[in-house]
Structure 1
Amino acid sequence: MQIRPAIRTAALCGAAILLASGCNKKADNTINFTSAINTYYSAHPACLWSDPIKFPVQADTSNATKTSGYDALVDQGLLVRTTAEKKVLIIASKQVNNYDLSDKGRSAWTADVNQPGYGNFCYGHRKVSTIDGSTATTDAVGATTQIDYHYTLSDTPDWAKAAETQTAYPQIQTDLAAPQSGHATLTNTSNGWQVSSARPSTTSSNDGKIVE
């Protein structure tokens, strides 16, 4: 009759140990590595341009590489386009397009808090799907580890899923097609593991890049 209480006590103790281990943010385990990377990218979304830009912008209509990306955003209602002539010489001029944010674009715009008037169109956040490898480390504060992982993008808006947008910005199509590989350096802090550096993302066409 004394066996069952002993088993119950052992089981409760084991569960408590597992719970304590899972709540230890400084432990060197997959759960904490995943949480650190996801937390980092929750504040660093994937965006169209590597650097924030400011609208309105003007582009020469004879240069498709300058206008196609903006035109795709016009098609999605994020920008409005007007045409004008710009003098280049006293007796010559060229056709240009002026692009500015629409009301829909302003609601989708991610403003840069450090540069008033500047911002970006962002199309999702990395979410770790698997941790593929990590270098040896410890749970000591100051310890570091190199993490290889795969991720998908979450919170992707409809405008980024449109064929026209993905043609103009191929990196979006690549990011959404299948889990992508990533690499990050994590450092253990008093508050748990945090990303200290991340590999730069791939550049897409039409100056469309994603930022860390």
Structure 2
Amino acid sequence: MSMPSIRTTLRTAALCGAALALATGCNKKADNTLNFTSAINTYYSAHPACLWSDPIKFPVQADTSDNSKTSGYDALVDQGLLVRTTAEKKKFILGSKQVNNYDLSDKGRAAWTADTTQPGYGNFCYGHRKVSTIDSSTPTTDDVGATTQIAYHYTLADAPSWATAAETQTAYPQLQSDLAAPQNSQATLTNTSNGWQVSSAKSLTNTSTNAGKIVE
């Protein structure tokens, strides 16, 4: 075979190989790590990690003698997300007690994630899961309807400055553990006509009265 023919053959083979690799990479239904990672990241782009396990509505009122209630709100006041005013709340027969009123500041409203299902309710969210490694997956196929169980590690991406502040992490211990290092979790993925999607996922565990978890 002449040199020009050899070069042509090699060039054709290279182009075919690249096309095959591209086609494989673009096949969203293929059972591979790339698609599993994409499915989990896509799911959590719409399911951020937030301070409270359930959305709340501001303004709120807390007894100044109850540090378990005020400490978390006060940390958010320090970060400029809430404004605090004091008041005296009258109690039937027993007199009155001092309370703090907390409401969203302008900065807080900008950082607030509204709950679309409950007008007026929302949460302060501090990041989205981003898969760092796929550790294991149960056997599956690229057929529509196929499922697989995924074990993976992730980090929380795009944490705002208020979430990394020492005062906030002290008041909300879950913040520190969530942002400190890669976490492990699990998810069930189902293959659809549009590719792999998360069908069920394990949320962050709420380990403190001031801690939050994923709002699902």
TM-score normalised by the chain length of structure 2: 0.95
Match of 2:39 among 24, 36, 43: 36
Bigger shift: 48-57 or 202-211?
Answer: 202-211
2:171 maps to which residue?
168
Report how far residue 86 of structure 1 moved. Answer: 1.4
**1:135 counterpart = 2:138:** yes
Which residue of structure 1 lines up, in the alignment, with residue 109 of structure 2? 106
Conserved in 1, the CA contact under 8 Å of 2:171 and 2:210?
Answer: no
Q: Is 1:53 aligned with 2:69? A: no
Q: Distance in 1 between matches of 2:69 and 2:132?
A: 35
**Alignment partner of 2:140: what SS?**
coil
8 A Cα contact 1:183 1:199, kept in partner? yes
For the pair 1:63 / 2:66, whether they are aligned, the reply is: yes
Is there any run of 5+ residues in structure 1 with no aligned partner, and where? none
Q: Does 1:12 align with 2:15?
A: yes
Is 1:97 aligned to 2:63, yes or no?
A: no
Helix, strand or coil: the match of 1:85? strand
Show the counterpart of 1:148: 151
Please give the per-residue CA displacement for 1:95-147, whole angstroms capped at 9, x wherever unaligned. 11110001110010001111110000000111011100000000000100011
2: CA distance, partners of 1:155 / 1:3 = 51
- Partner AA of 1:66 in structure 2: K
Q: Which residue of 1 aligns with 2:182?
A: 179
Equivalent of 1:191, from 194, 197, 201? 194
CA distance in 1, matches of 2:207, 2:167: 15
Letter in 1 for 2:7: R
Deviation of 1:4 after TM superposition, in Å, equals 2.3
Q: Name the CA distance, whole Å, in 1 between partners of 2:91 and 2:151.
A: 51
Query: What's the CA shift for 1:202?
Result: 1.2
Q: CA RMSD in A?
A: 1.0
User: Are the equivalent residues in 2 in contact too, given 1:69–1:206 (CA < 8 A)?
Assistant: no
Structure 2: give runs of 5+ residues left out of the alignment: none
Give the match's secondary structure for 2:100: strand
Displacement of 1:200: 2.2
- The whole-number CA distance in structure 2 between the counterparts of 1:39 and 1:106 is 25
Matched position secondary structure for 2:205: coil
| Matched residue SS, 2:143 | coil
Amino acid at match of 1:202: T
Counterpart pick for 2:210 among 202, 207, 212: 207
Residue in 1 that maps onto 2:128: 125
- Report the alpha carbon displacement of residue 208 of structure 1 after superposing the two structures with TM: 2.4
- The count of aligned residue pairs is 212
